[in-house]
Chain A
Amino acid sequence: MKSQKTKKTIKTIKIDVDKCNGCRACEMICSAFHAEPKYSSNNPARSRIRIIREPLRDLYIPVYAGEYAVAECAGRDKYTIDGKEYDECSFCRASCPSRDEFKEPDSGLPLKCDMCEGEQEPLCVKWCMHDALLLEEREEEVDEPEPEDEQEELEIGLEALADKYGLEKVKDAMARISKKD
């Protein structure tokens, strides 16, 4: 391999479900941080983290919004851990057509956790006073992305847009953007 190595910071949120008290402060502050202007409003339904909270079954799972999925999956999983049964989709981070999770309530646009870029730590971590959510950072050496990778990424992005809005609309939009320039 001739590719260049570079250092990259990997941020991980360590989730300890045993410490979660189910207060949903993380949902609240996430939505407040991402409001425009910042903190001007809050609405847990817009949050990029959600707490699956079922006290009578002692289920408390913080789940972060991950990738947008165009289609729902064909097969789903049901987990039993320590005698507790978790519903299908419990651990899934996707914003997908099969459910309302991780979508803007008015527009339906997908949401994704961005680790509160620019802050010392993600706000959900700061607000979790029970340390159910902890930030871990580590450096990793990764390959410098090759030019062809970038091209591929661009195409995947465009295809996703085309899937969602139709190719014609994307073309029209591209044409308009080009004109502005």
Chain B
Amino acid sequence: MRYAETGFNLEVDLTRGNIEKVATDPKDTELYLGGLGTNAKILWDRVPPEVEAFSPENLLIFAAGLLCGTPAIGCNRTIVTTISPQTKLMAFSMMGGFLAPELKYAGYDKVILRGKSPSLVYLWINNDKVEIRDAAHLKGKGAIETAEIIRKELKQPKAQVAAIGMAGENRVFYASIEQGRSSASRGGIGAVMGDKGVKAIVVRGTQDINVAQPEAFMELTNEVMDYIQFRNDNPIPGVMPILAGLGSPQEMKVHDEKWHTENFNWGNSRTRRKGFWTDEIALEWMETLDNARTRLISCYNCPMTCGATISMPGLPTYMMKCFTKLTYTMAAYSDLDFGLRIAQRATEYGLDGFSAPQVMAFALELLENGILTDDDFPEMPADTEGRFYYLLDKIVRREGIGDILANGTYWAAKEIGNGAEDYAHNNIKKHEQLPLKLSMLNPIYYLMYCTGEKINITQIEGQFPQAPYPKKEHREAFVKDWHQVPDDKFKQYFVDWNPRGENSMPFYPTVDMCCDIVDWQEMMHYIDDALGQCAGLSSFPLKPPYHIHNYPKFISAGAGIEMDEDSLSKAAKRYRTLVRAINIRRGMRRKDETPPENHWKKRFPELEKELLDTYYKFKGWNHDGIPTKASLHELGLDYVGEDFVKRGILTVNEDVPSEEATA
């Protein structure tokens, strides 16, 4: 008997229309847990580096995390994995909502799509009955609209639907997969779904999910519930509101946007507007949000209310969470009313709220600077807001200039040429980042920006405060009940950290401390992504209810796999290294691991080099960021080492020995 997981994957060959229910090897669960971990294993085994994003050989995997569908609070994430058309690397975007538990109840841990359907279809999974159904009538329909139509036509109000909009159908490189209040947005996975001819995945499940040790599991769950209550009653003092509590950043709840609007950059990640947040604007935005927001809502089995239903007068209702609230507003130098309105259309189209607004602002910058001309934008309105709607429609239809912009700023700039590259200035690994430009280099963030392979800062940061409190007594107070740290040394790192003067950035935390901190932050995200746990109750906020000390117990009691902190850390390291191996095999190297050049004004090349050198070594990677044969061996990944040797990525006798090789 399998616990927590179902032990079955659904393999769908879209080319031939073949569907199989395949039993999985429990050994893989022990080694790679589930979710992201086992996705990475499948991608390594079955998608060689020659396979491109839009090849029928590419896989699109929808995985429910290992503990999804158990009573573990907030464990509801679907981990979608494929090869990204934009980065050409592994993409593992994810979403909360209700799909992952439903998939478990239907009897599957993963849905693995391969091939390409000759016409637009949707997949209907109703427990053991699985059908590929015609979706011709859904072509061009919005993602939210599609879900509603399908539920009606199947007469299945309880079915969960993940769908793409027009952006995915037309293979926009930053198209998302939308699932009601949630979306998997990064890396262009919606484009791969569109390329495969799949409009939606629809799931209904009414079967049991078992846990191995019911009493122990419930005790752990009750502790988490109590701690959530405690943290709700005791916000962290002295930090901005969105960092004080648990959950994803509470953007739907919070009215005070002073910090974001004045510290993030407007336009194409260009302009900081100090003094923007006046009383007048605060009042106006508060009214806009209060009038639009019908209700704060949650994902499956989670008390946090990170999302909201948004009804703008005259527009269909949609759901929103997090930063899409601000990204369109700020890119267009507009107001919240505009932001919430255009986000409605963008959500139906199915677009990543980070990339899309930046691409549009980028296009307008090129026009302003004469790199593109009016001829490239026939009949474009004169006002910025009108222009954003115009560009949005062009992009998702791939019409005219929209066809080039649909590939994101990196590829668009290359195609446009004529100096356009300078305007694609906010990318890492060819992917648009948060619109944020800062002054002093932050050594912790430097490492995260460089080496994060989800290529999104919010998906690697967390737990460790972003900045020190001014006074030592406050820092001491903070660490007093900080039981989440893997080791007490982290408390000392924080207590000794000063905002300026001695022990301040960029030379403090020291290089070695930075390695420890970043490794811990990243490890917790990777564990979440295998278990299906939302980062909002775990790796993202300060002092979360889930941490390295209770996770092994959850896995033991839930999945019946013996686990302690060491073996869990090792498992996480194993599939984290496998993710890197997939990307290394696809050509990613040290040269790609760099933040946007202008991310910080004050840079320290020597320190940065030392940081990366040391961190690579710490992680068991060579000077070029390639996992060494010794470290692969230690993780039981000899098959990766052998493949690297076969492909000439590493040499037979020794790993490319550090310094001399590339320096």
Binding site for B on A (CB under 8 A): 21-25, 28-29, 32, 35, 37-46, 54-58, 60, 105, 127, 129-130
> Closest CB of chain B to A26's CB: distance in Å?
9
B282 on interface, CB distance cutoff 8 Å: no
Say yes or no: A56 contacts B302, CB within 8 Å: no
Q: Which residues of B contact A44 (CB under 8 A)?
A: 105
A sample of 20 cross-chain residue pairs with beta-carbon separation below 8 angstroms, ordered by A number, consists of A21-B303, A39-B71, A40-B214, A41-B208, A41-B210, A41-B211, A43-B207, A43-B208, A45-B105, A45-B206, A45-B207, A54-B157, A55-B180, A55-B181, A56-B144, A56-B318, A58-B294, A127-B225, A129-B225, A130-B305
Which residues from chain A contact B305 at a C-beta distance below 8 Å?
A: 21, 130
Contact indicator A42/B309 (Cβ below 8 Å)? no
Closest chain B residue to A40, Cβ basis: B214
Interface string of B290-319 (1 = CB under 8 A from A): 000011111111110100010000001111
Does B211 contact A23, Cβ atoms closer than 8 Å? no
Within 8 A of A (CB), among B129-164: 144, 148, 157
Interchain CB contact under 8 A, A28 and B301: yes
Partner of A129, one of B98, B209, B210, B228: B228
Given A28-B71, A54-B157, A56-B148, decide whether A23 and B214 contact each other with a Cβ distance below 8 A: no
Number of residues of chain B lying within 8 A (CB) of chain A: 42
Q: 8 shortest A-B CB distances, which residue pairs?
A: A45-B206, A39-B214, A129-B303, A23-B298, A41-B208, A105-B206, A21-B298, A43-B208
**B217 close to A (CB within 8 Å):** yes
Q: How far is the CA of A42 from the CA of B300 in the complex (A)?
A: 14
A130 is contacted by which of B71, B98, B211, B303 (Cβ under 8 Å)? B303
Q: How many A-B residue pairs have CB under 8 A?
A: 90
Residue of A nearest to B309 (CB): A55
* Cα–Cα, bound, A41→B1 (Å): 12
- 14 extra A-B contacts, CB within 8 A, seeds A21-B295, A45-B105: A21-B296, A23-B298, A24-B300, A28-B300, A39-B211, A39-B218, A40-B210, A41-B209, A42-B71, A43-B206, A43-B209, A55-B180, A55-B317, A129-B232
Q: Which residues of B contact A54 (CB under 8 A)?
A: 157
Q: Please, which residues of chain A bring their CB within 8 A of the CB of B229?
A: 129
Q: Taking A39-B217, A39-B218, A130-B303 as contacts, is the C-beta distance between A22 and B297 under 8 angstroms?
A: yes
Alpha-carbon distance A32/B69, docked complex (angstroms): 11
* Chain B residue at smallest Cβ distance from A104: B206
Tell yes or no: B70 within 8 A of A by CB.
yes
Q: Is A23 a contact partner of B300 (Cβ separation < 8 A)?
A: yes
The CA-CA distance from A101 to B594 in the complex, in Å, is: 55
B480 CB, nearest partner CB in chain A, Å: 26
Residues of B within 8 A of A45 (CB): 105, 205-207
**B70 neighbours in A (Cβ, 8 Å):** 42
Contact A25/B73 with A37-B214, A55-B297, A56-B148 known, Cβ cut-off 8 Å: yes
B residues 442-500 near A (Cβ < 8 Å) are none
Answer yes or no: B215 CB below 8 A from chain A CBs.
yes
In the complex, residue of chain B having the shortest beta-carbon distance to the beta carbon of A50: B158
Bound-complex Cα distance A130 to B298 (A): 11
The distance from the CB of A177 to the nearest CB of chain B, in whole angstroms, is: 30
Which B residues touch A42, using CB under 8 A? 69-71, 208-209
B207 touches A23 (CB 8 A): no
Q: How far is the CB of B205 from chain A (nearest CB, A)?
A: 8
Residues of B200-242 contacting chain A, CB below 8 A:
205-211, 214-215, 217-218, 225, 228-229, 232
Nearest CB of chain B from residue A163's CB, rounded to whole Å: 26
Report chain B residues within 8 Å CB of A127. 225
A129 to B221, CA, bound (A): 14
* Docked complex Cα distance between A38 and B144 (Å): 38
Instruction: Chain A residues near B157: list those with CB within 8 A.
Output: 54
B70 to A: closest C-beta gap in Å: 7
With both beta carbons as reference points, the residue of chain B lying nearest to A54 in the complex is identified as B157
Closest chain A residue to B127 by CB distance? A105
Compute how far the CA of A87 lies from the CA of B318 in the bound complex, rounded to whole angstroms.
21
Shortest Cβ distance from residue A124 to the other chain B in the assembled complex, whole angstroms: 12
Q: How far is the CA of A169 from the CA of B215 in the complex (A)?
A: 39
Q: Which residues of B contact A25 (CB under 8 A)?
A: 73, 301-303
Asked whether A23 lies within 8 Å of B148 as measured between CB atoms, the reply is no
Complex Cα gap A160–B305 (Å): 44
Question: In angstroms, how far is the closest chain A Cβ from the Cβ of B96?
Answer: 11
Q: A130 — which chain B residues lie within 8 A by C-beta?
A: 303, 305
* B297 adjacent to A21 (CB under 8 Å): yes
Cα–Cα distance between A42 and B101 once the two chains are bound (Å): 11
Question: Could you tell me the distance in whole angstroms from the C-beta of A22 to the nearest C-beta in chain B?
Answer: 5
Complex CA–CA separation, A42 to B73 (angstroms): 13
Task: For chain B, residues 576 to 596, give those with C-beta under 8 angstroms from any C-beta of chain A.
Answer: none
Contacts of A56 in B (CB 8 A): 144, 148, 309, 316-318
Distance (whole angstroms) from the CB of A38 to the closest CB of chain B? 6
Cβ–Cβ contact A39 & B215, under 8 A: yes
Nearest to A39 among chain B residues (CB) is B214
CA distance A38 to B217 in the complex (A): 11
Across the two chains, which residue of chain B brings its CB closest to A58? B294
A23 touches B71 (CB 8 A): no
Partner of A58, one of B214, B232, B295: B295
A16–B538 alpha-carbon span in the complex (Å) = 29
CA distance A111 to B452 in the complex (A): 49
CB-CB under 8 A from A38, the residues of chain B are 214
Give the complex CA separation of A38 and B219 in angstroms.
Answer: 13
Give the residues in chain B near A39, CB-CB below 8 Å: 71, 211, 214-215, 217-218
Contact status A23-B208, CB under 8 Å? no
Cα–Cα, bound, A151→B541 (Å) = 61
Query: For residue B294, which residues in chain A have a CB less than 8 angstroms away from its CB?
Result: 58
Chain B residue at minimal CB-CB distance from A56: B317
Docked CA distance A130–B215 (Å): 25
Expressed in whole angstroms, the Cα–Cα distance for A29 and B222 within the complex equals: 12
CB distance from A143 to the nearest CB of B (A): 40
Question: Taking each of A25, A45, A56, A129, which has the highest tally of chain B beta carbons within 10 Å of its own beta carbon?
Answer: A56
B304-345, CB < 8 A from A? 305, 309, 316-319
A56 to B209, CA, bound (A): 29
Closest to A126 in B: B225
Residues of B within 8 A of A23 (CB): 298-303
Compute how far the CA of A60 lies from the CA of B298 in the bound complex, rounded to whole angstroms.
12
Shortest C-beta distance, B149 to chain A (Å), equals 12
- Select from chain A the residue with minimum beta-carbon distance to B207: A43
A54→B309 CA distance, assembly (Å) = 11
- Specify which chain B residues have a CB less than 8 angstroms from the CB of A41 in the assembled complex: 208-211
What is the minimal beta-carbon distance from B387 to any residue of chain A, in angstroms? Answer: 29
Q: Give Cα A127–Cα B300 distance, bound, in whole angstroms.
A: 13
Q: Which residues of B contact A29 (CB under 8 A)?
A: 71
CB contacts under 8 Å to A, within B172-218, are 180-181, 205-211, 214-215, 217-218
